[in-house]
Amino acid sequence: MFFYTQNTHKLCEFNTADKICEAALTLFAQQGFFNTSMHHIQKESKISIGAIYHHFKDKKGIASALQENILAQMDVAFIDVINQHKTFEEKYFNIVKLLLVMTEEEPRTMKFIFHSKYSEYSDLNKSIFQSKPFQNIHHEMTSGCENDAFNQQECSIDLIMATLFSLPIQLIQLRLDGVIKKPITDRAELIYKVIWDGLCSEFQNTGKKISD
C-alpha cells in the first residue's frame, strides 16, 4: 500500500496479501471496520474469498496486519525525524509537520489509525497513543523536559504533551472529517508557532531558548 515515509512515496511489489490489505484499508477508511464484511473486501480487491481466507483467518486478522504494518512505518518515519534534528524544538516541529503531510498524502491510513479503535479488531484495548511510535515521541518529549528545556519545578510532562499534540491531532481529525476544507500542511508553521509560543510562555525558563 502507499504510505508516506519521510519525503518519499514508496510502493512495494504487491503480493496477494498486500492487495487484500490495500482493499481493506480503503473500505475501513470509508465505512468503518464493523460496516465492512469479507465479501466487501473480496469485491474491492477482486480476489476470491478462498484466497482471502488462505492469507487471513478473518476480518480482524486483516485489520491487525494493517495496523502492524502502518505503525511500523510510522515508527521508522518518527525515528528518522528524531535522528535528523538536534534540538527539542526542531524535532517537535518536524514531527507535527510529518503528521500533517501524512494526513494530506494518505488520508485513508490516517483515518484508519485515528478513527478506529484498537478494541474493534484487537484483544488489547489500547489507545493509538499507547502504540510504539507515539510512545517514542512521548519519550523524546520527556527527555526534552529532563534536559532543562523547561522549568523543572513547573514541568508537567502530561500537560506539556497535551499542549504539544492536542491541537495538531484535533486539526487532523477535522481535516479527515471534511470540516476543514483546505490542506492543513499550509498551516504547519502557524500551528507550530501558536503552540510553541504558548508553551514557552507558560513553562520555559526565563530568557532560555529551547534550542540551547
Tens digit of pLDDT at every position of the chain (212 positions):
444 333 333 444 468 998 999 999 999 999 988 899 999 999 999 999 999 999 999 998 999 888 888 888 888 888 898 889 888 888 888 999 999 999 999 999 998 888 766 556 655 456 667 777 777 777 776 776 655 555 544 556 777 777 788 889 999 999 999 999 999 999 888 998 888 887 777 665 443 443 33
pLDDT at 166: 86
Facing residues of 9 across strands?
A: 4
Residues 6 or more apart whose Cβ sits within 8 Å of residue 193: none
Residues 6 or more apart whose Cβ sits within 8 Å of residue 27: 36, 40, 41, 44
C-alpha–C-alpha distance, residues 190 and 158, integer Å:
23
Q: Which has the closest alpha carbon to 162: 148, 181, 180, 141?
A: 141
* Domains of the chain, each with CATH number or no CATH: 3-203 (1.10.357.10)
pLDDT at 211: 38
pLDDT at 115: 72
Residues 6 or more apart whose Cβ sits within 8 Å of residue 118: 67, 124, 125, 126, 127, 128
* Helical spans, DSSP H, in the chain: 16-31, 38-45, 49-55, 59-84, 88-105, 107-115, 118-121, 132-146, 157-176, 188-203
pLDDT at 89: 82
- The kind and range of the H/E element at 9 are strand 9-10
Q: Which has the closest alpha carbon to 4: 141, 119, 99?
A: 99
pLDDT at 34: 87
C-alpha–C-alpha distance, residues 59 and 49, integer Å:
12
pLDDT at 75: 87
Residue 169, C-alpha cell as written in the block: 491531532
pLDDT at 118: 53
